A and B are shown apart, each in its own frame.
Chain A
């Protein structure tokens, strides 16, 4: 059974930083791409980033470029999303989703990030 679990969400002040973790099991993690997708309260889905199998190739959507970074540790089947200089508009549920370069199949339940003073 495939399992994807995000952690690290919480309440953070504007300008602050947070690190989300995504741990997967039940699949060949080291061969797959990992994407982050977020969903603001009551809104639609928005693609945020993707990282290739060894972490050497990462792409971010324009609105988070320069503020968010990713890294991965294939020995722990884990990818990290570092969120810096957070803004109110970054408030969302952040989903980790795993698959291939241009689509993804396995989703976690999401981690809520709330940016507020």
Chain B
């Protein structure tokens, strides 16, 4: 079983703000990365490190961490944000990587 826990599904009204969370003991020591995946496509990195966006990722995506929980916030969700989101970080040993189970975001 994954050492990172995500809610299976979250929904948000178009233009509203949504927070997707990821819980795990290792997150007390390590930052999470966040990946967006649309059906039939490869994942795309949207947030890494403390709160960094790769080139081309809109600034409505942001990341944060508090205690054992990492969060991905989308401020002003758009229809194209409808996708699966996965968090990823080191495990409690610090050497291996693990993914959360994924959150399906529905933009209404």
* Contact flag A59-B96 (CB < 8 Å), given A45-B86, A103-B48, A105-B54: yes
Which among A14-22, A74-82, A83-91, A106-114 touches the partner chain?
A106-114
Q: How many whole Å from B16's CB to the nearest CB in chain A?
A: 26
Interface pair A95/B43, CB less than 8 Å apart? yes
Residues on B with C-beta less than 8 A from A41 are none
B12 at the interface (CB under 8 A from A): no
Q: How many whole Å from B46's CB to the nearest CB in chain A?
A: 10
Q: How many whole Å from A36's CB to the nearest CB in chain B?
A: 11
User: Of A50, A61, A103, which contacts B88 at CB under 8 A?
Assistant: A103
Q: How many whole Å from A22's CB to the nearest CB in chain B?
A: 12
Interface pair B96/A61, CB less than 8 Å apart? yes
B interface, size bucket: 20 to 34
B107 at the interface (CB under 8 A from A): no
Q: How many A-B residue pairs have CB under 8 A?
A: 50
B45 at the interface (CB under 8 A from A): yes
Binding site secondary structure of chain A = strand
User: Of A61, A107, A109, which contacts B44 at CB under 8 A?
Assistant: A107
- Docked complex Cα distance between A61 and B90 (Å): 12
Residues on A with C-beta less than 8 A from B61 are none
Interface pair A102/B97, CB less than 8 Å apart? yes
A residues with CB within 8 A of B: 35, 37, 44-47, 50, 59, 61, 95, 97, 99, 102-105, 107-110
- Docked complex Cα distance between A110 and B42 (Å): 7
- Docked complex Cα distance between A69 and B88 (Å): 23
User: Of A44, A104, A105, A109, which contacts B86 at CB under 8 A?
Assistant: A44
User: Of B35, B45, B90, which contacts A45 at CB under 8 A?
Assistant: B35
Interface pair B43/A47, CB less than 8 Å apart? no
* Contact flag A108-B42 (CB < 8 Å), given A45-B102, A103-B48: yes
- Docked complex Cα distance between A110 and B39 (Å): 13
* Contact flag A44-B102 (CB < 8 Å), given A50-B97, A102-B90, A103-B33: yes
Can you report 13 A-B residue pairs in the complex whose CB atoms are below 8 A from each other?
A: A45-B37, A45-B102, A46-B99, A47-B96, A47-B99, A59-B96, A61-B96, A95-B42, A103-B48, A103-B49, A105-B48, A107-B42, A109-B41
